[in-house]
Structure 1
Amino acid sequence: MVNKLTLVGLLALFIVAAADQKQPEIAPILQHLLDTQSIPKPPQGYVPTEQRSTAHTFRTRVDHFNPQNRETFNFGYYSNDEYYQPGGPIFIYVGGNWPVSNFFIEHGHFHDLAARQHAWLFANEHRYYGQSIPTPNLSVQNLRFLTVEQSLVDLAEWINHLRRNVVRDDNARVVLLGTGYAGAIATWARQRYPHLVDGVWVSSGQLDARLNYKEYAVRVGELIRQHGSNECYGRIWRAFRTAENLIDAGLSSTVTELFKTCHPLNPESMLDAETLFFNVKEIVQEAILYLNANVSTPIFCEQLNNNTEATDLQTLAKWIENKYYYLQCLTFDFNSTVEVLLELENHYPENSIFGLRQRTYQLCTEFGWFRTAYADDQPFGYRVTMYFFQNICKAVFGEWLTSEVVVDGVHLTNMHFGGKNPRITNALFTSGGQEPARDIMITDYHQQGSRALVIPGYMASSDLGSVSGYDSPELLEAKHQIELYVDSWLYESIMPLK
């Protein structure tokens, strides 16, 4: 178990105020690992109420590709047959890098469509997340079974089981809904197993593996200018450049004091400097994206612009100090960052709740999505580079994980599945017009029974909720199109108009 100081600094004790039942807050480096994928979040305090939603497990093999390995494990899933009538379809909310929840098979647009189509609803837990970890611990040797290919076979075998043994209808049509990383899994399940999956709705699905994901910072910068101001953008730009210049001038102690780091910034350590700048960058980006950008950004920029500190760097440092008022110091050094990712025990909250080690492994071996500051048109300096991320991968999982291995993993993912052009039919890709991750999503797609919809003014997975009077006309039309496309996959004679 990591030491207390590291837990305080990096995880913010997971629960900042348990007595007040507040949402857990975690450190910026860890927040990044979660936010790299769009993770659907049920409302705070949600308690399942539907009597027909029940928990189950499905047994499958740990390694589907080695006939000599007969080891098995159980992954969890939820079932809701409240609306099902014989002959109805199967609707599956596909699991991703989070513990399974039954919220989206009891609420939301997918649930409402199931009621109209008399569908049986299911939600599964992805291998290695939540309580569905197939190995005694998360050692590097054990993580070798955490691959997209293994998870796709899990899903295919489970769908076959649902048809034959649960719904008892071998001809039942199957529609998948996937968000974020699970959107990629849903897409590739349709690609690999078209005989099992009849259609997929992919909400904010992230499909294009990318090593140097520099575009993300550019998109956040655009949001700051659009919903904040050029003055706010300039303050952030100057703060980062000032800190970089101070370190270059041998004044790293000044930066340490301003940001109240737990350990002095080592002027000889490029990794410590990059870790600090990465964390500061992620803190700012999280503030911009905490709510819809048109709400969060003005609040953040007003706080910066109304500050009375003498310099922009002091202003930003003071804002971060106020944000993390409950911490005596911030662990922005490289070693502390790595330490929390070295936890091997399945039951530790870092792994069972947040899936930090597992997700980091997937990023290092298959997806990349390393949010650097390489691009020119962004306000976060230039000191967050691939050097930082490559060293994270090696420090956590071993020297075998060289830059060449990481590059090959990203290349192979896109080669195997097609990146932003999976060439499948019966797929609807939806995304928000303000999503900073939209560069790795499918926003233009033309295949039979398929389309890509970009919903102006919204962030990730805004289309998951039930139709509401608060929806904009564009969001209402998107939800209507989702309904038409699902209909078309269930009843092939009906095709939605483009």
Structure 2
Amino acid sequence: MSCRIVFVLVVASCLLASASGIRVSQLFRLQKAFSLSPSIVEDQWFVQKLDHFNGADSRTWNQRYFMNDTHYVPGGPIFLMIGGEGPANPAWMQYGTWLTYAEKMHSLCLLLEHRFYGKSHPTEDLSTENLRYLNSEQALADLAHFQTVMAEKMNLTANKWVAFGGSYPGSLAAWYRLKYPHLVHAAVASSAPVHAVVNFPEYLEVVRHSLETYSSECPVLVQNASDTVMDLLKDPKNYEKLSKDFNLCEVLDIDSDMDSGAFLEALAGNFMNVVQYNEDNRAFEGVLGTNITIKVLCDLMAASKNSPYSGYIAVSNLMLATFGLKCLDASYKKFLEDMTNVSWDGPAAGGERQWIYQTCTEFGFYQSTDSPNQPFTGFPLKYHLQQCLDVYGAEFDCITVTNAVQQTNENYGGYSIKSSRIVFPNGNIDPWHFLGITKQISEELPAVLIKGVAHCANMYPARPEDLPQLVSAREYIGQLLQKWLEI
């Protein structure tokens, strides 16, 4: 993949070898994949249907999955981890809170990779025509077919199945329990944005609030710096200076709001990524930069408070150095070139082309600068919506996206989901908690809002420095599962 950090959309995924965080391409492009010896965790393959909703379509493909039966005792529950918008990470078969639960409850653990991501290739390429088979409903049907066949094959039909997922896979875990209650007994839906929305300016509002938790001065300095960059962009004479200051791979060439938006979002993405995963414990996934926290970024800004612009440069340089990049690629033209390559070997095939398609056809989730209560500027909703048109075609217009988001909420219920035995953990630092369930709906649909932690924090391995409320949340979720499983 190219060393480009153009931040179109900070997606949220906790289960990827390289998933979102610095734009869509943030984790797709920048985080190193964690690898285990094939003798420890082997790729396994399941023959899956291409279209679950057309009985006349007999086409199949091979879907990747992983298994860990270390703790399994016959009759124990089956834990099914759901893959998301990137390669399924076999590290989860050896690490994570769910394995602590599995050891205690004698569970068999399975991880199913999401269609169209990682090595799970249902079609010959990623053409827009083929991507019509990529959606959450097909993914849920994949889970159902996988579970049904595996249960018969492994004599697990009498066992209770529990779905696990974080972020988008967290939503899938909740929706799997909702749509297939006869198959899955319970679900842990961590940091799950269950409510779809076209415009999501609240994401950046939470970023501002999260920065304020460390220092009231921090978001003010960030806003000052962002405004300074915006002002400099108004005069082409400043393009060379901006390109040099932020170590761009190419000198800025601003022909449209899309070009300036890509650059401005790239710089904002440094803060978005760090806030979303603040003080996480993803090192077991092979993720770099987990020691870069809100504190680190705010201290850099404070050290340059007489020139917030200089602080903005220092933050950008730190992120480039952390990820081993020589320059920052903020070219919208290069982004389109990569995104319109439909080959499985293309630069956006790691998940970026696929995920943005899902936002255009199901979820929206566009983190715009349309709110005055956030520190950034330059990438409004129209900037995000234009990408749907530019990448996938004229039919993916604003009306299409709006209707798709409405249909998603009608299908799954959004904030008003009606089901049972689903727990919704969220961290209040995480911007995605705004679209999740943060207040208990009923005794059977409890919410766990964990103060001071970020995205999917409850899923990662425990460590001594974990906040007491995070420790308590993990214990509470384990107790819920034991209760629901009658263990």
TM tier, shorter chain? 0.7 to 0.9
Give me the whole-angstrom Cα distance separating, in 1, the residues matched to 2:463 and 2:244: 49
1:354-410 CA-to-partner distances (Å, cap 9, x unmatched) read 3111111111111111111111111113x2111211111111111111111111111
Task: Output the TM-score relative to the length of structure 2.
Answer: 0.86
Give me the whole-angstrom Cα distance separating, in 2, the residues matched to 1:8 and 1:408: 35
Q: What CA RMSD, in Å, does the superposition of the two structures yield over aligned residues? A: 3.1
Give me the whole-angstrom Cα distance separating, in 1, the residues matched to 2:375 and 2:398: 27
Q: Does 1:172 align with 2:193?
A: no
Partner in structure 2 of residue 270 of structure 1: 257
SS in 2 for 1:420: helix
Give me the whole-angstrom Cα distance separating, in 1, the residues matched to 2:185 and 2:21: 41
Greater Rg over alpha carbons, structure: 1
Partner in structure 1 of residue 343 of structure 2: 345
Q: Does 1:423 align with 2:409?
A: no
Structure 2 CA distance for partners of 1:341 and 1:69, relative to 1, 3 Å: same
Q: Does 1:368 align with 2:368?
A: no
Give me the whole-angstrom Cα distance separating, in 2, the residues matched to 1:249 and 1:291: 36
1:420-459 CA-to-partner distances (Å, cap 9, x unmatched) read 2211101111111211211011111323433100111111
Q: Does 1:297 align with 2:294?
A: yes
Give the alignment partner of residue 224 of structure 1, picking from 208, 211, 222. 211
RCO comparison, higher one (Cα < 8 Å, 6+): 2
Partner in structure 1 of residue 484 of structure 2: 489
Deviation at 1:86, TM superposition (A): 2.4
Which residues of structure 2 form unaligned runs of 5+? 7-16, 281-290
- Please say if residues 180 and 203 of structure 1, whose CA atoms lie closer than 8 Å, have aligned partners that are also in contact: yes
Partner in structure 2 of residue 94 of structure 1: 82
Deviation at 1:48, TM superposition (A): 5.2
Give the alignment partner of residue 401 of structure 1, picking from 396, 411, 422. 396
Partner in structure 1 of residue 36 of structure 2: 47
Give me the whole-angstrom Cα distance separating, in 2, the residues matched to 1:477 and 1:403: 43
Partner in structure 2 of residue 14 of structure 1: none
SS in 1 for 2:447: strand
Partner in structure 2 of residue 145 of structure 1: 133
SS in 1 for 2:75: coil
SS in 2 for 1:70: coil
Deviation at 1:110, TM superposition (A): 1.5
Structure 2 CA distance for partners of 1:114 and 1:334, relative to 1, 3 Å: same
Give me the whole-angstrom Cα distance separating, in 1, the residues matched to 2:334 and 2:303: 33
SS in 2 for 1:230: coil
Q: What are the equivalent positions in structure 2 for 1:209-288 lying under 5 Å apart?
A: 209-227=196-214, 229-248=215-234, 253=239, 255-256=242-243, 258-266=245-253, 268-288=255-275
* Number of residue pairs matched by the alignment: 465
Q: Does 1:126 align with 2:114?
A: yes
Give me the whole-angstrom Cα distance separating, in 2, the residues matched to 1:199 and 1:342: 39
Range that drifts further, 192-201 or 78-87: 78-87
Q: Does 1:189 align with 2:189?
A: no
Give me the whole-angstrom Cα distance separating, in 2, the residues matched to 1:447 and 1:276: 44
Deviation at 1:127, TM superposition (A): 0.5
- Please say if residues 248 and 330 of structure 2, whose CA atoms lie closer than 8 Å, have aligned partners that are also in contact: yes
Give me the whole-angstrom Cα distance separating, in 2, the residues matched to 1:27 and 1:80: 28
Give me the whole-angstrom Cα distance separating, in 1, the residues matched to 2:275 and 2:304: 17
SS in 2 for 1:93: strand
Partner in structure 1 of residue 453 of structure 2: 458
- In structure 2, give the amino acid aligned to 1:366: E
- Please say if residues 18 and 87 of structure 2, whose CA atoms lie closer than 8 Å, have aligned partners that are also in contact: no
Give me the whole-angstrom Cα distance separating, in 1, the residues matched to 2:19 and 2:156: 45
Q: Does 1:335 align with 2:321?
A: no
Partner in structure 1 of residue 194 of structure 2: 207
Structure 2 CA distance for partners of 1:318 and 1:78, relative to 1, 3 Å: closer
- In structure 2, give the amino acid aligned to 1:237: Q
Give me the whole-angstrom Cα distance separating, in 2, the residues matched to 1:355 and 1:289: 19
Give me the whole-angstrom Cα distance separating, in 1, the residues matched to 2:331 and 2:43: 42
Give me the whole-angstrom Cα distance separating, in 1, the residues matched to 2:262 and 2:416: 34
Deviation at 1:145, TM superposition (A): 0.3
Partner in structure 1 of residue 147 of structure 2: 159
Which residues of structure 1 form unaligned runs of 5+? 12-22
Give me the whole-angstrom Cα distance separating, in 2, the residues matched to 1:316 and 1:410: 35
Task: Output the TM-score relative to the length of structure 1.
Answer: 0.85
Q: Does 1:377 align with 2:373?
A: yes
- In structure 1, give the amino acid aligned to 2:373: D
Structure 2 CA distance for partners of 1:245 and 1:486, relative to 1, 3 Å: same
- Please say if residues 232 and 304 of structure 1, whose CA atoms lie closer than 8 Å, have aligned partners that are also in contact: yes
Deviation at 1:180, TM superposition (A): 0.8
Give me the whole-angstrom Cα distance separating, in 2, the residues matched to 1:179 and 1:255: 37
Q: Does 1:116 align with 2:104?
A: yes
Q: Does 1:56 align with 2:44?
A: yes
Q: Percent identity?
A: 26
Structure 2 CA distance for partners of 1:29 and 1:453, relative to 1, 3 Å: closer
Partner in structure 1 of residue 57 of structure 2: 69
Range that drifts further, 179-188 or 337-346: 337-346
Give me the whole-angstrom Cα distance separating, in 1, the residues matched to 2:341 and 2:254: 28
Deviation at 1:80, TM superposition (A): 1.9
Structure 2 CA distance for partners of 1:482 and 1:267, relative to 1, 3 Å: closer
- In structure 1, give the amino acid aligned to 2:364: G
Deviation at 1:490, TM superposition (A): 1.3
Structure 2 CA distance for partners of 1:24 and 1:171, relative to 1, 3 Å: closer
- Please say if residues 276 and 455 of structure 2, whose CA atoms lie closer than 8 Å, have aligned partners that are also in contact: no
